[in-house]
């Protein structure tokens, strides 16, 4: 009787566990369908409204309706602003570029502030290039050396290829052998060779050899389908900064003094605006031809209140350009003054010293206020006296 009771209790507990699991799964599906945030999910606790708002922003980014716009995450320290930005990056996946930066990266003695901002801007803009290439999907054969002796040289490469539809042998140039050695190609690997450039790419090991070893750090892929020689669409994901860096190759002198100077004083060189404009023309032509697709990513700037007026004016102009990512700002300040912005207290100090005092008083501020106006006061004055101006 005791054994029967234990079995009954075990079955009852199993049924309760199944019901609880189903209830939790159903609750998650309801939250997901309604767009609401779970109370505890993916390491996030609380901040339900901020997470729901981030989810809406994430949907707009996926629909490509958020490019050229910015998002401000404001709150006290340790509340999870950076965690929300990283959560958005994880949800977007590895195909969408995400570039985090701190305000301290802007202030450098070698590179201008605007150059650092533009470099991070272009790192957050991706370009998906699609190419249709003739691909051959592939054992080297050795011959006696023509110089004699016991050495051997590669005369040609005979590759036995196999797909689902059949097998084929090709005789290739010996220069491809170096690419095969570099990719560490062995019998049973799944590779492809580009017909135009001769580039060899190892995709993985055939799943027919999966039971060859009990433990192996290999990625097994199925046998290629179709013909051996075929056309294949190859997709490459790059950023605009990768294109800038690939085309900007500063070359110094070839003499010994120039080479030593480059080694002793390595400086980060700036990419010119002319080069970026030429790359933008090529990118726009590829987009118009349908060869490439623009993927606006996310640029995350933490502690944005530390930037100065020049940086904010440059950000405003960069966000209005045709090639701009989604920018997420984060700050732990409420209302603060922009760095290097001249306020009324700065000229008030001069008035105080002229009057022979050490501390600023109310009379000094009122005197300066009569001489200067802020933007709102100036706009109200222009609107009130618009009849006196020439239209």
Question: What would the 3-class secondary structure string for 144-170 be?
Answer: ECCCCCCCEEEEEEEEEEECCCCEEEE
Residue 127 tokens read as 């370009």
Domain boundary among 195, 227, 259: 227
Q: Look at residues 120, 45, 53 and name the one whose alpha carbon lies nearest to residue 78.
A: 45
Q: Phi, psi (5° rounding) for residue 334?
A: -85, -90
- To 10 degrees, the CA torsion angle through 187, 190, 192, 198? -30
Mean per-residue pLDDT, 199-225 = 68
Q: Dmax over Cα atoms in the chain, in whole Å?
A: 105
Residues constituting the chain: 391
Residues 70, 161 share a domain: no
Query: What CATH code is carried by the domain that includes residue 275?
Result: 3.40.50.300
Predicted confidence band of residue 310 (pLDDT cuts 50, 70, 90):
confident
Q: Is residue 189 part of a domain?
A: yes
Query: What CATH code is carried by the domain that includes residue 383?
Result: 1.10.8.60
CA 103 – CA 271 distance, rounded (Å): 20
Domain boundary among 202, 227, 252: 227
Note down the domain range covering 15: 1-34
Residues 365, 300 share a domain: no
CA 263 – CA 348 distance, rounded (Å): 51
Q: Is residue 161 part of a domain?
A: yes
Residue 145 tokens read as 């050396």
The count of other CB atoms within 10 Å of the CB of residue 353 is 12
Residue 347 scores a pLDDT above 60: yes
Residue 210 tokens read as 């999966």
250-309 pLDDT, tens per residue?
Answer: 555 444 444 444 444 445 556 788 888 888 888 888 888 888 888 888 888 888 888 888
Q: Is residue 39 part of a domain?
A: no
Mean per-residue pLDDT, 114-133 = 80
Domain count for the chain: 4
- To 10 degrees, the CA torsion angle through 24, 28, 33, 34? 100
For residue 204, the surrounding DSSP H or E stretch is strand 200-206
Residue 389 scores a pLDDT above 50: yes
31-61 pLDDT, tens per residue?
Answer: 555 556 666 565 565 677 777 777 788 877 7
Question: Is residue 71 a contact partner of residue 40, using CB atoms and an 8 Å limit?
Answer: no
Residues 271, 363 share a domain: no
Choice among 194-198, 246-250, 298-302, 372-376 with the minimum mean pLDDT: 194-198
Residues 276, 219 share a domain: no
Residues 332, 197 share a domain: no
pLDDT, greater one: 78 or 224: 78
Provide DSSP, 18-50: HHHHHHHHHHHHHHHHHTPPPSEETTEES-HHH
Residues 106, 25 share a domain: no
């Amino acid at each position: 009787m005791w054994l029967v009771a234990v079995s009954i209790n075990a079955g009852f507990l199993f049924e309760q566990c199944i019901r609880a699991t189903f209830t939790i799964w159903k609750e998650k599906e309801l939250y997901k369908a309604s767009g609401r945030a779970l109370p505890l999910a993916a390491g996030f606790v609380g901040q339900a409204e901020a997470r729901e708002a981030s989810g809406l922003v994430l949907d707009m980014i996926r629909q490509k309706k958020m490019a050229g716009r910015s998002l401000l995450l404001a709150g006290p320290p340790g509340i999870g602003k950076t965690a929300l930005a990283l959560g958005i990056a994880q949800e977007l996946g590895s195909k969408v570029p995400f570039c985090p930066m701190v305000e301290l990266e802007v202030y450098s003695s070698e590179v201008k502030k605007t150059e650092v901002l533009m470099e991070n801007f272009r790192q957050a803009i991706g370009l998906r290039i699609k190419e249709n290439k003739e691909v051959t999907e592939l054992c080297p054969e050795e011959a006696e050396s023509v110089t004699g002796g016991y050495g051997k040289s590669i005369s040609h490469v005979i590759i036995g290829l196999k797909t689902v539809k059949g097998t084929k042998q090709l005789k290739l140039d010996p220069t491809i052998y170096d690419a095969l050695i570099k990719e560490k190609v062995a019998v049973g690997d799944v590779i492809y060779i580009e017909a135009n450039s001769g580039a060899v790419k190892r995709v993985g090991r055939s799943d027919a050899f999966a039971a060859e070893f009990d433990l192996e750090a290999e990625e097994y892929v199925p046998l290629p389908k179709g013909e051996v020689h075929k056309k294949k669409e190859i997709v490459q994901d790059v950023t605009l900064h990768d294109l800038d860096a690939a085309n900007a190759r500063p070359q110094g002198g070839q003499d010994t003094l120039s080479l030593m100077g480059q080694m002793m004083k390595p400086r980060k060189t700036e990419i010119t605006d002319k080069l970026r404009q030429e790359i933008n023309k090529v990118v726009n032509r590829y987009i118009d031809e349908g060869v490439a697709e623009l993927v606006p990513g996310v640029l995350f700037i933490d502690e944005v209140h530390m930037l100065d007026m020049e940086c904010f004016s440059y950000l405003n102009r960069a966000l209005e350009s045709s090639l701009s990512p989604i920018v997420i700002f984060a700050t732990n300040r409420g209302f603060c003054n922009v760095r290097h912005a001249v306020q009324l207290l700065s000229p008030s100090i001069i008035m105080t010293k002229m009057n022979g005092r050490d501390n600023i008083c109310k009379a000094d501020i009122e005197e300066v206020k009569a001489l200067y106006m802020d933007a709102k006061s100036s706009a109200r004055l222009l609107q009130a006296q618009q009849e006196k101006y020439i239209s």
